[in-house]
Amino acid sequence: MMKLNIIIKKNNNESGAIAVMTAFFIIFVLIGVAALAIDIGKLTTTRNELQNIADAVALAGTAELGRQHLEKMNPIDEFEIHDVAMQIAASNFISGKPLGMFGENWEQYIEILIGYWDEKHGFTLEKVSNIVGQKNSVKARLNLKEAAHGQLKFVFSNYTKDIRADATAALTGAINIGEGVATPVGISAYWYNHTWPGNFCDQPIKFYPANDPEACAGWNTFDLNPASANQLRGIFEGMLDGTYTSPELNLGDGLEFIGGNIANAFCHNNHPDLEDLWEANRDEDGNWFTIVAVYDWHDCSNPNTLIPIIGFSGAIIHSVDCNNHEIVATVLCNEHHYSRGGGANYGLLGSIPNLVE
């Protein structure tokens, strides 16, 4: 009987030991699960913070690039762009402290690239299109090696994870132009997409006569309707004497474009006209730089209806020839205007960037 009691007691002790070990094992597993949950949350938060920094750095660098283009800096100052971007990076917080406080070598976490961007090719360091002939984009790459389970590192002390975030901002097509900027002429989108597909930079165009093979344009009277030659001449007269200012224009605005026989709006012996306006604005070489709208039209025929604006171009009007009733111009690329980007690139880019990747 005594022997049986000893055996039972021994078995009870072993069962108790197993229970204790099982309890410790369960606690260990629960700690590991808790550590994993905490780590996933921490890494997710860190990744989001890192992405926010990448976005801010790319936008800041590209905004500085836009400022330099707006001020016609040639060449651009890439060192200044880099410095502006890094200042923004240093002031942004990650894991509760500014990135600039992550030690003396914190800049090693960040790579700033200045290059070219368009919808077809994305970001490149080399120019691949004349339409984007100047650097218009900044890419930011951030890479941190985050220690896992920082709060419970006694569980898994050697595990680390790379956390990476990329962002690209670019100067893209201007979405609006301010008051007093535009000339009341527009170019059909057909001219860009079919007459000079992918290569419209510095190409000649005639703004009149509209039926000329080199013409693909229409005239408008902005906010004065109905559009007519008399209304158009009144706009030229108002621009000359300061009584009329062209309105702000935005993508999607509808303008009534006209063509046909409107030559008396351009050349008139007894009234101010486009020839006088050209004389007042041209430089010593006879060139008048202006901004024109791009309208959504399917060919180069004379327009005579309300048509939406889908972009803007810079243009140089070289002459208003009243003897031959011709208006000769050149369409420009890589021009910049103080505007937000986000539109299609028809040559005029906004100096305020947006994220594109």
One digit per residue, the tens of pLDDT, for the chain of length 357 reads 555 555 555 555 555 556 556 655 566 555 554 444 445 455 566 788 889 999 999 999 999 999 999 999 999 999 999 999 999 998 887 777 777 666 667 778 889 999 999 999 999 999 988 889 999 999 999 887 654 444 434 333 444 467 789 999 999 999 999 999 999 999 999 999 888 887 899 999 999 887 676 889 999 999 988 999 899 999 999 999 999 999 999 999 999 999 878 888 888 777 778 888 999 999 999 999 999 999 999 999 888 899 999 999 999 999 998 888 889 999 999 999 999 999 999 999 999 999 999
On whether both 147 and 183 belong to a single domain, the answer is no
The β-bridge partners of 328 are 206, 319
> What was the pLDDT predicted at 158?
45
On whether both 194 and 166 belong to a single domain, the answer is no
- 290 by Cβ neighbours in 10 Å (0-12 / 13-18 / 19+) ranks as middle
pLDDT tens profile 110-133: 899 999 999 999 999 999 888 899
Which is nearest to 143 in space by CA: 94, 177, 97?
Answer: 94
Main-chain phi, psi angles of 312, to 5 degrees: -140, 150
The β-bridge partners of 305 are 257
Where a domain ends, among 170, 186, 205? 170
Q: What is the 3-state composition of the chain as percent helix, strand, coil, each rounded to the nearest 5?
A: 35, 30, 35
Note down the domain range covering 207. Answer: 176-355
On whether both 127 and 210 belong to a single domain, the answer is no
> What was the pLDDT predicted at 315?
97
Residue with tokens 């008051």: 179
CA 115 – CA 183 distance, rounded (Å): 32
CA 287 – CA 317 distance, rounded (Å): 6
On whether both 198 and 316 belong to a single domain, the answer is yes
> What was the pLDDT predicted at 255?
96
Where a domain ends, among 107, 136, 170? 170
On whether both 48 and 197 belong to a single domain, the answer is no
CA 243 – CA 236 distance, rounded (Å): 10
Other C-beta atoms lying within 10 Å of the C-beta of residue 7 = 10
On whether both 238 and 327 belong to a single domain, the answer is yes
When divided into structural domains, the chain yields a total of 2
Taking each helix axis as running N to C, give the angle between helix 78-91 and helix 2-70, from 0 to 180 degrees, rounded to the nearest 10.
140
Where a domain ends, among 155, 170, 185? 170
Give the chain's length. 357
Which is nearest to 258 in space by CA: 195, 184, 190, 326?
Answer: 184
On whether both 154 and 183 belong to a single domain, the answer is no
> What was the pLDDT predicted at 147?
41
Paired tokens of 158: 């050697």
On whether both 42 and 16 belong to a single domain, the answer is yes
On whether both 326 and 303 belong to a single domain, the answer is yes
